[in-house]
Amino acid sequence: MQTNTPPPYSSLVAVGDSFTEGMSDLLPDGSYRGWADLLAARMAARTPGFRYANLAVRGKLIQQIVDEQVDVAAAMGADVITLVGGLNDTLRPKCDMGRVRGLLTEAVERLSPACKQLVLMRSPGRRGPVLERFRPRMEELFSTVDELAARHGALVVDLYGAPSLADPRMWDVDRLHLTAEGHRRVAEAVWQTLGHAAEDAEWHVPLPPALPPGWMTRRVADARFARQHLLPWIGRRLTGRSSGDGLPPKRPELLPYEGPA
């Protein structure tokens, strides 16, 4: 965490996939808020005329992020750019990690000179058996993030090492996206990493213990998860489709930001 007074950043561009789009922090109108909107609201409250763009789209792989978002973000000339990508690639059955590393490197090399501060992340990972088979890939991705940050002067927000965000209670029923409380904690983590005084110094602290759900409750939840989320996800993988196909970024232009609803 930074200890000096941060510079007065006047603009933010967020680049990435569903994590940065804000799923599953659902608003009453059916749109998603998420950590990037929450961060922008904090920054806007302290900087008149603050501008914000969010180019992230759910389901995007690192190649799509590079092709569709990186040059757009670089051209905006924002003070701060956040880049989170590559995790969707690691969850695919067939994943060329060398290619993922190369594309992430390309993205960082193009974004770093285009802003005052580039922010990268070690994405959060929930506990549970499903993700264990992908964990070595995830950790290889995060090692690359660390190396690129050191080389290009980027900040790294370590969400992967935060015990609170590993707790299943911080994750939505789809087991892939954070709840509203999870997104709030991510916004706090980025806020502090940018050098701002903590509003929640214990965002990373483990949640108080809770009684585990009973056997029947777990089985019902597992069945609902498989029917509503896992099987559709597998279907998209088999047919080469993505949940973000045809969807535009939610904030494609760098415009003044009033804050989330």
Confidence of residue 7 (pLDDT cuts 50, 70, 90): confident
**96-129 tens-digit pLDDT:** 999 999 999 999 999 999 999 999 999 998 766 6
- Report yes or no: 35 and 190 within 8 Å, Cβ to Cβ: yes
- 2: in domain: no
Left (φ > 0), alpha (ψ -120 to 50) or beta: where does 128 sit?
A: left
Q: What is the pTM of this model?
A: 0.86
- 244: in domain: yes
Strands (E), the chain: 11-16, 51-54, 80-84, 117-122, 155-158, 251-256
The more confidently predicted of residues 212 and 151 is: 151
Share of the chain above pLDDT 70, in %: 81
Mean pLDDT of 27-41: 93
Res 261: pLDDT: 46
Confidence of residue 209 (pLDDT cuts 50, 70, 90): confident
- 261: in domain: no
Structurally, how many domains does the chain consist of?
Answer: 1
Res 244: pLDDT: 57
- Among candidates 195, 206, 187, 97, which has minimal Cα distance to 145? 97
| CATH number of 196's domain | 3.40.50.1110
Q: Which residue range(s) make up the domain with 183?
A: 11-256
**194-203 tens-digit pLDDT:** 999 999 999 9
- 38: in domain: yes
Res 163: pLDDT: 94
- 3: in domain: no
Mean pLDDT of the chain: 87
* DSSP per residue, 129-159: HHHHTTHHHHHHHHHHHHHHHHHHT-EEEE-
